[in-house]
Structures are given as C-alpha cells and as structure tokens.
Structure 1
Amino acid sequence: MPEETLALYSRWWQLETYLRSLTYVELRAKYGIHWTNQIGQGATSRREKDESRSYMATADWEDPLSYLDVGKLFPILEANWDLVEPSLINKEALMARTSELLAIRHRLGHLRRPHRDDLSRLEQTLRDLEKGAFTAYASYNREFGAPGDLNDPVVAAWVREEHPTAQRLIRHADRQYDVIFRLSYTIRPYAEALQHGAPITGSEGLLWKATFHLRGQEVRPSALWRESYLDRNARQLLVHMLLDHGTVAFTFPAVDDGNRVADAIGDAFDAVLLNVRPRRGSTERELSESPMRSIHLDPRIQKDSGWTTVDDSTVPISLFGA
C-alpha cells in the first residue's frame, strides 16, 4: 500500500472516530437511555439486519452510531450543535469543510487515489480540533464529589450508603479485597454547574462516575465486560467502562432514573469484586485486549484513550499527532 494512502486512512480514522465518540458521549449525557432517538432509524435498522449474521458480529455491532453513514453524521452534529460546540471548531468553518471532507472519505471508500492536498487538509482539520478535543476529554475526567446531604436517590444509595448493596459491599470490599469505592459526577462542557442543593439526578449533561480503586490489583477488561451482573442494569445504562492506572470506573447519565442508576452501580460493584485479582505482568493475550491494539473489545470499554487519560493536569500534548 502506498505510504501516503496509509497515512490518509489513518488521519481519517482519527477524525471520524473522534466525531462519532463525541456524538455518542454528548447524546448520552443529554438524553440518557433514549439517546438513539436522535440519530434516526436508518442506523438502527442496519444494526438489526446485522443480527441475522451473528456469526460475523464485530465488537461494534451493539453500537447504532457505528452503522450511521458518515454523510449523516455531520447533520447530526449540526442539529445538536449546542451540545458539541465547545468540543469542535467554529460551526460555519466546520460545515464549510464538510463537502471537502466527505469527498476525501468517498475517495478512500472507493479506493480512488487521493488528491495531493487530501492529507494536508485532514491534518489541518485535526490540528484545528485539538483545543476542542482537550475540552471534551478533560471535562469528562474533571470530577466533583457528591454532597452527602443532597436530596438525590443515587447520593442516598451510595454516599449515605442506604442501598442494600452499599451496606453489603463498601466496607467488605475495603477489608477483604483492598478495593475502595468513590462516587463522583462530571459536567459536560455545554451544561451548567449545579445550583447549591440541587439534585444531580435528572440533570442533563451530567454524568455519574462510580470509581473502584484497586490498590495493587487489576481486572481483565474482556472478563469483566462479560460478567453477568452487568446484564441487570449496568450494561444498558452505562456510557463507558473506564480502565486506567489501577482503577476501573463506570459512567452513567445523570438524566436517567436515579434508582436504576443506583442499582446499576451495585451490579458493577459485584462484577468488579468477582473479577479483581493481584496485579501481575501482562500476558501477550491481555496486552492484545487494549482497545488501542485490538478491534475486538466493545467500544464502551475505554483504556488508554482520551476519555481515560486526559485531564486538566495533562501536560500539553498533541492529541492527534497531526
């Protein structure tokens, strides 16, 4: 394969992957469990057709956005501009580039040889997106502690420990597994900060974050993801399962039903304790499970990505390397 073609494909992969993942996070944070209503039926229908070929299922088959034509992705961004504006570039500038970007995509999709300026156009777009991408990622990892006296079902369940699973596991996990639990929340760039005393549950643009500090231990991503406890509530409600530096965390839209979210955190707690193990050198198979090295993990599992590694203290870096 010509080197320029490979470079062009890689740059397009960076661009489209970022736009799709940003769209997913912001729609989940805004609309919760009903987020797919915002992307139309075409993607959902394609996904349902793919179910008839389950023997060929890929890691993305449960993600409706992965079935969305890229030509329809930009109109969705435009229709939800109030959600994505802080994480992109000027609206008029991006929309003006859309036809050029799609022309590049079509050349790639139909294996036509690129224009000599295609690569530089893509790299310039990625450089322009750097500031917005940092905003998107850093805000995702900017955590706020949930006040214990808040009149909120999730706070009552997991800060005041009124949930049966909290009473059963929080201290037990610390004593027997050396696992520490913490509940926090994050605010998407477009959302307003909470007023004093306002509940978190029901707020658009906020995400709950249930974090388990493993303290010298680890979990294997694929094994934890397959854990049946997650099938009760967690898998349907969660935005991401995050793995980073001795922690595993689950994020949930605050706009969704608080009692269901509280139950989902309990299911995640059981799943983590069943899969935690002493940390050891990674085997070749486990190294291949990193989403940065493998295409075989669900995209909701995030490890070594901007959603797990970039925060306000991050030394300035080039997120796209362009």
Structure 2
Amino acid sequence: MRARSTWQRFSSETKNAVESALFSDGMPQETLALYSRWWQLETYLRSLCYVELRSNHGINWATHIGEGATRRRQADESRDYMASADWEDPLSYLDVGKLFPLIENNWDLVGPSLMNREALLARVPELLAIRHRLGHLRRPHSDDLSRLEQTLRDLEKGAFTAYSTYNSDWDASRDVEDPVVAAWVREEHPTAQRLIDHARRQYDVPFQLSYSVRPYAARPKPGEPITGHPGAIWKATFYTLTRDVQTATLWRDSYLSRNVRELVIHMLVNTGRISFTFPAVDDGLRISDAIGEAFDAVLLCSRPSREVSERSLYETPMRSIHLDPRIQTASGWNIVDDSAVPISIFGA
C-alpha cells in the first residue's frame, strides 16, 4: 500500500483555503513556498534557543529571554478563549527582531548547532527584510526563496548536531553519588520500588533512565554526578510496545502533575516509547519525583494496544496545531540520532 501524498492528507478546509488564496485571491505561489521555508528556519532557531537555555539555566530559563516576551504572553492570557497551543511558551512571544540578538548573546550555547557566526549575523538584515515582506503581505523578491534555502542548507550540519546529540544517550553508572541515580538506578525512590518491576510484569512497560549532553557542554567525568551539570539532560523512557497511550490525553487531562510540567523540557513520542527529558541542572529530588509522577501518568493513561492499521505503517504523523510545543512527535528532537546519516534536516 502506497502512502498518501501530503496534499491528500490535508483536510478539506486546508485544501480549500490554499486553493482560494492561490487561485481566487492572487496570492503568489512563491509566497506560500517562502512562508514554509521561513517557518522551518524560525521554528528551528526558537526551539534551539529553548533547549539550550533550558539545559543551561533549568527552571529559570525564561528570565534570560527578556521581559518583552513575558509581557506579551501575560497580555494574551486576557484572551484565553482564543489561546493557541503555544501560549505557555514564552519564546513564541519573542519578537523576531529580538530573536537574533538573543542568539548572538547566547552564542556559546547555541553556536555549535548553527553555522559560522560572522556569516549568520551578516545575513540577519536580509533575513529580517524577507520576514517583514511576509509579515506585511508584500510580494517577495525573486531571490528571497533561494536566499532562505541557502541559509537552511548552511544550517544542516549544525541542526544535525543539535538533534543527534539530544538523542545520543548514556546510561548512568549505578555507583555515582547522584540523587537521580540513587532514586531510579539503585531504585531507592518509593515510586521506583513500587512501579519498576510492577510495570514490567503487569503492563509490559519497561523503564530506562539515561542522559545526554548538549554540544556546548562537556560530558561529566567518570564518577562525577550528572545532576547539577549544566548542559546535561536526564531522559526517562517508558517502552509501550504493547500499550496505546493517547498523547493529548496524557498531556491535557491532568494526568501529569504540575511538578512534571514545570521541569520537563520535552515529552518525546515515538512508536513504542514515550520519553520525558529534564535539565540535569535542576534540583535532583524534584526531578526524581517528576519521573515517578510521569511513570504513574503513563500507566494510568495506557490501554492494551489495538491493531495498527496498514495505512499508519506507511505514514509519518503530521503535527497537530493543538499539541503543546513541548510534545515532540515526528520532529528532529525525537527522531534524529547518529544512525540517521545520511539525512537532510530541512530538505532545502
């Protein structure tokens, strides 16, 4: 069975809107292409800043992006009846004109996952001019698309580094004096004692604790604790090969505690497993509790697997506009690792 094309998978409302804009209202097709490429560029830059700021500063990361984004977000709360899934993300409220200074000011964190600093910063005026044309509905310059695609090609190597290191995991030695290791490797946490064996036997859901290190940081030396190490990220993985877990239900319907939501970087959703990532720089006892709370939530929200349809085996899921940005499904943050070579991140 052949997979449906992307166009075939669009809803009728989406198809109608695109066709109306292109053929009835005179929208240049280059504008649609340009917006798609800009979306790739800007969402990558914002998500990269998010991961690196979170991994370095932990729970207080948002204080490092400026007050303007916070004020905009607070103002948006007064219109909660029309809030989007991004409303809890302060970076989504940061003006694009301040995004590039944020990148420059944090180059030591984000630089390894970008391109040559001077080359990128030299392009900023041109990139902003393209963004302004899009924002003010001006027709594009004939070279705008090629300029954006060249920038995306130049970012390929850095993006692969960002994504693959996020998914390059190590197991923590059980002998390390670390509160998270003690809790979930040596199983000293009450929830670990209650759930690890029970989940494997009764639910067929094995658990794994691992960690990764961001490109800007050095890996902890043998014997050193991971907790408290800037740039290190804890990953709690629950293997659900024989269980169905509804992602939106798990996230929305009060299954996850406030502690998990405050600490988590991402909830990574892959076929047969769900992972929660946490900045190791945050409090180890809180992280240990959050892993236990996530463990309970996954089990409570899971059901025995139903038969997988033939169609789903051939199709990559399309991201829903209703999913919180911390939920990563079919994105570089949860599917790209060292084994993915050769791969084009942006397809530009």
Is residue 308 of structure 1 aligned with residue 334 of structure 2? yes
1:259 alignment counterpart: 285
Q: Name which of 136, 149, 152 aligns with 2:162.
A: 136
1:113 alignment counterpart: 139
Supply the distance in 2 between the matched residues of 1:280 and 1:85 (Cα, whole angstroms). Answer: 44
Supply the distance in 2 between the matched residues of 1:291 and 1:299 (Cα, whole angstroms). Answer: 15
Supply the distance in 2 between the matched residues of 1:292 and 1:299 (Cα, whole angstroms). Answer: 14
Change (3 A) 1:48 1:183: same
Query: Which of these two proteins has the greater Rg computed from alpha carbons?
Result: 2
Q: Name which of 167, 183, 208 aligns with 1:157.
A: 183
Give yes or no for contact 2:241–2:271 (8 Å, CA) kept in 1: no
Supply the distance in 1 between the matched residues of 2:58 and 2:112 (Cα, whole angstroms). Answer: 20
2:5 alignment counterpart: none
AA partner of residue 88 (structure 1): L
The normalised TM-score by structure 1 is 0.96
Give RMSD over aligned pairs: 1.5
CA deviation profile, 1:251-304 (whole Å, cap 9, x unmatched): 000000000000000000000001112223579xx99xx973321110000001
Any residues of structure 2 matched to 1:42-81 within 5 Å, and which? 42-81=68-107
**Corresponding residue SS for 1:160:** coil
Give yes or no for contact 1:83–1:190 (8 Å, CA) kept in 2: yes
1:27 alignment counterpart: 53
Give yes or no for contact 1:208–1:253 (8 Å, CA) kept in 2: yes
1:215 alignment counterpart: 241
Any residues of structure 2 matched to 1:285-296 within 5 Å, and which? 292-296=318-322
The number of aligned residues is 318
1:185 alignment counterpart: 211
Compute the displacement of 1:151 (Å): 0.4
CA deviation profile, 1:72-120 (whole Å, cap 9, x unmatched): 0000000000111111001000000000000000000000000000000
Any residues of structure 2 matched to 1:165-176 within 5 Å, and which? 165-176=191-202
Supply the distance in 2 between the matched residues of 1:179 and 1:87 (Cα, whole angstroms). Answer: 34
Compute the displacement of 1:250 (Å): 0.0
Supply the distance in 1 between the matched residues of 2:237 and 2:332 (Cα, whole angstroms). Answer: 17
Compute the displacement of 1:227 (Å): 4.2
Compute the displacement of 1:215 (Å): 2.4
1:240 alignment counterpart: 266
Is residue 94 of structure 1 aligned with residue 94 of structure 2? no
Compute the displacement of 1:38 (Å): 0.8
Compute the displacement of 1:218 (Å): 2.4
Supply the distance in 2 between the matched residues of 1:92 and 1:292 (Cα, whole angstroms). Answer: 35
Supply the distance in 2 between the matched residues of 1:111 and 1:227 (Cα, whole angstroms). Answer: 39
Question: Sequence identity of aligned pairs in percent?
Answer: 71
Supply the distance in 2 between the matched residues of 1:103 and 1:204 (Cα, whole angstroms). Answer: 36
Give yes or no for contact 1:291–1:301 (8 Å, CA) kept in 2: no
